[in-house]
Amino acid sequence: MEPMMVRAILGPRYADAGEADYHKVVDAVRGFVEKTTGIQTLSQMQGLIELVRQFGFVDESHILDIHGYKAIYNEELLAMVRRRVEKLQRGELSPGDFQIKNARKLLESLHAAGVRLYLASGTDQDDVAAEAEALGYGGLFEGRIFGAVGDVTV
């Protein structure tokens, strides 16, 4: 998310932004992402619009709405996920390469003990479910995987 937001905020100045401006934007984006990780992506895109306006590098007529910025973010995110899935399929990487150490073992133990597991994310519902399946732990949640549905009022 960070690279996409930095590019969006700097807009036409991205390629030639001064070091000071670039680092101010990066610092603001990192702080924002840290505070908003876990909320719906559409809500994060509303915050991005505020940052774009605050920094003023992009003319108002070129500022996108939340859906426009989310489309850019999703395109980049899904490209990264596709590359990872391809590496999994080719055997270049394993699911463990993308998991916190022992997290899967914990989930499996909880599931075996009869604990009902839920997976919730601010990422789109279909993408969360697909990634959980690709990493081989989707079944542990028995359908209780929830993500964003494109409406910040839900």
Predicted confidence (pLDDT) per residue in 16-27, tens digit = 999 999 999 999
Structural domain that includes position 111:
94-154
- Residue ending a domain, choose from 60, 92, 124: 92
Please tell me whether residues 106 and 117 are part of one structural domain: yes
- Residue ending a domain, choose from 92, 112, 128: 92
Confidence band, pLDDT 50/70/90 cuts, at residue 122:
confident
Please tell me whether residues 84 and 8 are part of one structural domain: yes
Residue 154 has pLDDT above 60, yes or no: no
Residue 42 CB contacts under 8 Å (≥ 6 apart), including other chains: 66, 67, 70, 148, 150, 151, 152
Please tell me whether residues 29 and 49 are part of one structural domain: yes
What is the C-alpha separation between 30 and 46, in angstroms, rounded?
16
Residue 67 has pLDDT above 60, yes or no: yes
Residue 47 has pLDDT above 80, yes or no: yes
pLDDT for the residue numbered 152: 61
Residue 63 has pLDDT above 70, yes or no: yes
- Residue ending a domain, choose from 44, 74, 92: 92
Mean pLDDT for all residues in the chain: 93
Please tell me whether residues 153 and 98 are part of one structural domain: yes
Counted domains in the chain: 2
